[in-house]
Chains A and B, each alone.
Chain A
Amino acid sequence: MAIKSLDDLRKIKEQAKSTTSARHESGTQVIVGMGTCGIAAGARTVMTAILDEIAKRGLQNVSVMQTGCIGMCQKEPLVDIVRPGEARVTYGNVRPEDVPSIISEHLVNGRIVNDLVVAKL
């Protein structure tokens, strides 16, 4: 890696910013329910699918967080998407194969995937 100009420096900065984005306030949040119920219903594979999808699309300014049980155990795995300034949307019974559409439709383009929605806050 050679940095020959200010442009080179800025390119590296953009890349580096995305690798440390988890440490800053970032735009969109994806929150996966990881209580015992969520884990038993397969939240880990859903979370892995989310991380893969984000990496595949090279998305920036997204943070993936976990939360505990919120009581709707029969609907687990639950995934919430919070876009800045918009309502928090909860998806239920999420399977790994649902992840690409949630990410591309809602997270990227802001169109809620109504079939999977269980609640809006």
Chain B
Amino acid sequence: MEKLARAHVLVCGGTGCSSSGSKLIIPALKEKLEARSMGSEVKVVETGCHGLCEMGPLVIVYPEGVFYVRVKPEDVDEIVENHLVKGRVVERLLYKEPATLDTVPSYDEISFYRKQKRYALANCGHINPESLEEYIGADGYEGLGKALSMKPEEVVEEIKASGLRGRGGGGFPTGLKWQFTRSAVNDKKYVICNADEGDPGAFMDRSVLEGDPHRVLEGMAICGYAVGSDEGYIYCRAEYPLAIKRLRNAIAQAEETGLLGRDILGSGFNFTIHIKEGAGAFVCGEETALMASIEGRRGMPRPRPPFPANSGLWGKPTNINNVETFANVPSIMRDGASYFASQGTETSKGTKVFALTGKINNTGLAEVPMGITMREIIYDIGGGIPDGKKFKAVQIGGPSGGCLPEQLLDLSIDYESLIKAGAMMGSGGLVVMDETTCMVDVARYFLNFTQDESCGKCTPCREGTKRMLEILNRICEGKGTEEDIPLLESLAKSIKAGSLCALGQTAPNPVLSTLNFFRDEYEAHIKEHRCPAGACTALVGYVITEACRGCGLCKKVCPVDAISGEVKSVHAIDQETCIKCGACQAKCPFKAINKG
């Protein structure tokens, strides 16, 4: 029998931590442990994402569960010598709470994790994603085993009873979708996993695929059994190379052991899974465009009905769900629907993974029960806004979503109340904005994105988003007119009404939602030629005040020679030449330069 490893060192190998250098830590650890002849008593495991990407690379040492953050290869010596040899925790590498600066030694005590309920992400960061054994050790494929002992109709009923709804955006009840595909009569059906995660700032699907790929395969196989399909596709963007690598590895392992393929677990059920790499077009997250892309055609949506459940991939009944949706399925089957249904609110059951980005202390992934408030996510889990700045708004739901201002921070987060507030759940990307963010600029950013990603099939979307972007550009430059706001609203209405797919139907949302909550900012740009947040470069100017002592530092640092003045007398900025880079303000030792 394999010798018991007394300690396990888990090193995060997700995309976030890899890019901050975790790849160098694993070989350094192994080398050092060998040199200390502890190679067999301490196990080094590369895991998927732990969610607290801000603090990466993350290293966790078990059995104590000590959580080290921002570990560099040069710290490895100290971790091995002090912690692993002598059992002394390396204090300086421990996590500190951003609010209190208290040191927290243990993984479970960190406030970022304490309020979370990790269900879909249960294994992420805790098992080696490239090891089938570890997944099985964490109850993996138990749900599939249980499903195969039931009738397919019963599996569909179980998913319906759980109340699971689509985690990719729309929130359609998953069990009902499965039932539609199950009822469709055809000798061939398909299951598709939509891994074309495209919302700016959303990365939960990537983390699940990288951290726990077998869970998604298991979820798809259960779905295949329930709807009567023997073949699945994962449509994953090529920008996720690590996710694709781990998926390929997981598929090969499952095929080799017979967990995918023919006669799975002796039940007579067959299921295979292919990967289709997409080129990262946002519109391919739309199901009909996605299927067109798998078929080898240009990724463009088509009108529905017929819905994919009746006529999908190659005209066959097809069930499409998002990565996170499939990731919830194995545990629902294993533990029964009632546990899942006991979490969350009346209409939104279970947990949801949110990606926290923007002006927030703990950038990362958090899985929370539905019905939690935005305030809890941003302040208790996210650790609040950095640098003592004031919260302004949070953008939820990506380019199709909207902004929630401060007065809605206590809104319960579920599908219905978000729609009512003019936003949407979407994939769960949360972009937090502070007082220095201009809301017109935010709307412009998202419009720029949708305008770029519009496939061009429907004129209102193709031309309308372009015109809206032009207007927003004009407003940000201070050249907006009073007619621009009604014009934006009327364009928004036409685009929503005249577009075929969700991309166009929701593209105006960021503008409508910022107009709803931050109309005063639009008006300040138009009427007063002023950007209240001081973010739109065309509308801010730098002025030198009487406090200037004429030291000449600003003159030296100005890249465009816009500053003039004699030594020891007050200098001046030529506003025509100034490019508003702010270098002079940063350099001035007397705080004599104001932005206004």
Contact = CB atoms under 8 A, between A and B. Distances in A.
Contact of B136 (A13, A34, A54, A59): A13
Interface string B223-267: 000000000000000000000000000000000111100000110
A2 B257 CA distance: 4
A64 B108 CA distance: 20
A61 to B, nearest CB: 11
A80 B336 CA distance: 41
Residue in B4, B5, B85, B139 whose Cβ sees the most chain A Cβ within 10 Å: B4
A110 interface: no
B88 interface: yes
Given A1-B257, A6-B265, A48-B41, A23 B8 contact: yes
B212 to A, nearest CB: 14
Contacts of B126: 23
Interface string A33-53: 011100100001001100110
Nearest to B137: A16
Interface in A1-25: 1-6, 8-9, 12-13, 15-23
Contacts of A3: 141, 257-259, 265
Interface string B177-189: 0000000000000
A67 B87 contact: yes
Given A9-B145, A67-B87, A51 B137 contact: no
Contacts, number: 105
Contacts of B87: 32, 34, 65-68
B63 A2 contact: no
Given A2-B258, A13-B139, A22 B133 contact: no
B574 interface: no
A62 B5 CA distance: 11
B390 interface: no
Q: Which of A1, A5, A19, A62 has the most CB of B within 10 A?
A: A19
A18 B245 CA distance: 27
Contacts of B3: 51-52, 55
B142 interface: yes
Contact of A12 (B6, B8, B136, B266): B136
Interface in B119-154: 126-127, 133-134, 136-139, 141-142, 145, 149
Contacts of B259: 3
A25 to B, nearest CB: 9
**Which one of A3, A5, A17, A64 has the greatest number of beta carbons of chain B within 10 Å?**
A3
Nearest to B253: A1
A58 interface: yes
A58 B4 CA distance: 9
A63 interface: yes
A26 interface: yes
- B1, B139, B141, B149 interface centre (most CB from chain A within 10 Å): B1
A65 B137 contact: no
A109 B64 CA distance: 25
A20 B6 contact: no
Nearest to A31: B87
Contacts of A4: 258, 265-266
Contact of A16 (B88, B134, B265): B134
A51 B62 contact: no
A44 B63 CA distance: 18
Contacts of B43: 22
Nearest to A1: B257
26 contacts: A2-B257, A2-B258, A3-B257, A3-B259, A4-B265, A6-B145, A9-B141, A9-B142, A9-B145, A16-B136, A16-B138, A19-B2, A19-B133, A19-B134, A20-B8, A22-B7, A23-B126, A34-B85, A39-B86, A44-B85, A51-B4, A51-B6, A55-B1, A55-B3, A65-B87, A66-B86
Interface of A: 1-6, 8-9, 12-13, 15-23, 26, 32, 34-36, 39, 44, 47-48, 51-52, 54-55, 58-59, 62-68
